[in-house]
Structure 1
């Protein structure tokens, strides 16, 4: 496959927030970066200083926007609502353990007054198809959330949602953070482009 038909995507997780430190699930609620989160952004900026990105995309939630600003400085960031975290609805700002304990129940059905992970998958697929149409051959940075990255794993690495959730680096001890995760987008993703899923 010709390299000029590939979108090279590097995903970056937003910095630690005050909600993260309180072990609260923010969902679509805005949360401020903590002092640790701001420090992480400056460290990431140093770690990736020799990498070139043609475009930077970010969730429009404040924690992602602030991460993009601190990490990429004056590089123009394109904010896109489709990159948001999952909308936890009535579970928003509950303890993270509470959300994690029921997360597999909401792959196909939405959180009460929120959305499902399939909903997240649909909006991330829409964004990826736009990227393929407009940015083939480019190096693109994406700053997002757990659900953003899990959807990338499902759509671009052929994982089921169950696998993506189980293998998520955030659930491991110690957490297996990296200064960026690489993905390659080489075609338009149809509505059936997803790993097969079983369960709820």
Structure 2
């Protein structure tokens, strides 16, 4: 999965992006994307999976914005809460896409 396009902040230090996260839930980063746009793209990806890969196990490699989108779409987590929480690394995350999923981007 493609990471959020941070536009003018691409390749900036992570703390600079983190300090502005909450302002870019719906408003795109300058010359980039919003986190809501990442949610929409991830939702489209999940719809493709539900259609063509139902019942299969896949490996998805992604960045934090995509993980937040998966947490919103598949677990009902709040995007606002996820963006405010400190990052907690782990060796991997597991998600289950319900059969016939046709969800919409979370909040």
TM-score, length-scaled by structure 2: 0.89
Q: 1:114 aligns to what? A: 32
Q: 1:95, CA displacement in angstroms?
A: 1.7
What residue ranges of structure 1 are gaps of 5+ in the alignment?
A: 1-82, 196-200
What residue ranges of structure 2 are gaps of 5+ in the alignment?
A: none
Residue 42 of structure 2 contacts residue 66 of structure 2 at CA under 8 Å; is this kept in 1?
yes
Q: 1:71 aligns to what? A: none
Q: Residues 163-196 of structure 1, C-alpha deviation per residue, up to 9 Å, x if partnerless?
A: 222345xx24xxx312x21111111113xx414x
Aligned residue runs from structure 1 range 1-200, under 5 A: 83-167=1-85, 171-172=87-88, 176-178=89-91, 180-186=92-98, 187-190=101-104, 193-195=105-107
- Aligned partners of 2:22, 2:85: CA distance in 1, in Å? 13
Task: State the secondary structure of the residue aligned to 2:40.
Answer: helix
How many residues end up aligned between the 2 structures? 105
Q: Residues 140-177 of structure 1, C-alpha deviation per residue, up to 9 Å, x if partnerless?
A: 11011111111101111101112222345xx24xxx31
Q: 1:5 aligns to what? A: none
- Aligned partners of 2:95, 2:85: CA distance in 1, in Å? 16
Task: State the secondary structure of the residue aligned to 2:29.
Answer: coil
TM-score, length-scaled by structure 1: 0.50
Aligned-pair Cα RMSD in Å: 1.4
Q: Which of these two proteins has the greater Rg computed from alpha carbons?
A: 1
Q: Residues 64-114 of structure 1, C-alpha deviation per residue, up to 9 Å, x if partnerless?
A: xxxxxxxxxxxxxxxxxxx21110001112221111111110001100000
